[in-house]
Chain A
């Protein structure tokens, strides 16, 4: 028995497929179009940084909290990033209260890898006392409304929040406040694989039609910094390379929005 499913989304699965066969998406977008993206930063004053991103009706808020802590033994000269995602029940009829499930964990880890592997945050500048005290950067992703593609909304919100984060050195009496050093703009692009079709920025109807997707994150130089194939399906090489090229292109477009943050 399905848990709190949306019967209408369920029924529309065939309709989504039918439209795709006609070369159309149900909301009229091109296969590689994003819905409208809005980014608002600095909404949570108590956080060191914050951003609310909406992609279509999907809304995610990310808050950045920082505090001093011990460095990892093998990297005494680097700060630490910790990323967590809460897919709270408020955001969807299918989210239940409780500890993060595998989707929540996957989302947090993919967003984290994009930021970490692109070295977007210069962790070497987050040392207070080498070997003893470094800055811990908590990236907390809080889903508010799941209308598809929480992944890209979360990753945009994370980097937008980081871009507007101030390190609270004064509060912890370790110096003067300074802006968090962000030197790259990783952008993720999620493509839903529905049968033989690949659509960028899936809306909820499309996510319901197929659980299979692939997320590719690139940095400002178009290098690939994170990839996640999600779902039990087999993907051909040609399809993968097509998706990769589209993802690089779309990431470049979305990166322009970040430049205005």
Chain B
């Protein structure tokens, strides 16, 4: 159940405040008034008013960690599908595995999966990626799970609490892409538990006590595994 008392649902065009200074994300200002921009949960404090989206396609921002699939190989880089209306482009200069002796498709080929970072976005929404970050790599094993990008913050958890839970309790490696794609690697049955947990988080993202419920769920399923 969504807890509406603390976070009511708002629709586009609902008036949220009459002081433009408190306008946060998910709002727009017209004639000095602050309105909701899309369907979401209202998060109102004394100093800011914002709307947390319940849905929506992933729109890249600089600095986002994303997981993508190579669609095209060109002479100077790779065109990458990042689950967005906008494609990403990874220049050869931004891939540490690229060496002068190698050709682009020796390093990354069509359908390869990568973890990358959004380096730059130009005014026409041309997205440039980089793999020069320790989080980034080509993904050659493990599983990719896809969820509604609006739920990603919940999968990460407050200060990374959910990710930490999966890592410590199940010993998996996990990278959560801002674009709704999540890479998990480890013992297959443990990865299954992570996947199930993620789908639960996705459908119950804005409910109370979720962290506790997931902790319980993971504990229980892990116990079932050991019991076998």
User: Which A residues contact B (CB, under 8 angstroms)?
Assistant: 1-2, 5, 7-8, 10-12, 15
Contacts and interface: CB of A to CB of B under 8 A. Distances in A.
B57 to A, nearest CB: 11
A8 B181 contact: yes
B69 A11 contact: yes
B95 interface: no
Interface string B136-149: 00000001101000
A11 B72 contact: no
Nearest to A5: B81
Contacts of A11: 69, 113, 144, 146, 181
Given A7-B146, A11-B69, A11-B144, 4 more contacts: A1-B71, A5-B81, A7-B69, A7-B83
A2 B72 CA distance: 10
Nearest to B82: A7
Contacts of B143: 15
Contacts of B69: 7, 10-11
B146 A8 contact: yes
B72 A7 contact: no
B53 to A, nearest CB: 19
B112 to A, nearest CB: 11
Contact of B83 (A1, A8, A15): A8
Nearest to B71: A1
Q: Is the interface of A mostly helix, strand, loop or mixed?
A: helix
Contacts of A8: 83, 144, 146, 181
B113 A2 contact: no
Nearest to B113: A11
Interface of B: 69, 71-72, 81, 83, 113, 143-144, 146, 181
Contacts, number: 25
Contact of A1 (B72, B113, B144, B181): B72
A15 B143 CA distance: 7
Contacts of A1: 71-72
A15 to B, nearest CB: 6
Nearest to B146: A8
20 contacts: A1-B71, A1-B72, A2-B71, A2-B81, A5-B81, A7-B69, A7-B81, A7-B83, A7-B146, A7-B181, A8-B83, A8-B144, A8-B146, A10-B69, A11-B69, A11-B113, A11-B144, A11-B146, A12-B146, A15-B144
Nearest to A2: B71
Interface centre among A11, A12, A15 (most CB of B within 10 A): A11
A132 to B, nearest CB: 57
A182 to B, nearest CB: 42
Nearest to A11: B144
Contacts of A12: 144, 146
A12 B72 CA distance: 19
Contacts of B146: 7-8, 11-12
Contacts of B144: 8, 11-12, 15
Nearest to A7: B83
A88 to B, nearest CB: 21
A89 to B, nearest CB: 17
A5 B81 CA distance: 10
Closest 5 CB pairs of A and B: A8-B146, A11-B144, A7-B83, A7-B81, A7-B69
Nearest to B72: A1
Contacts of B113: 11
Contacts of B72: 1
A15 B81 CA distance: 19
Contacts of B181: 7-8, 11
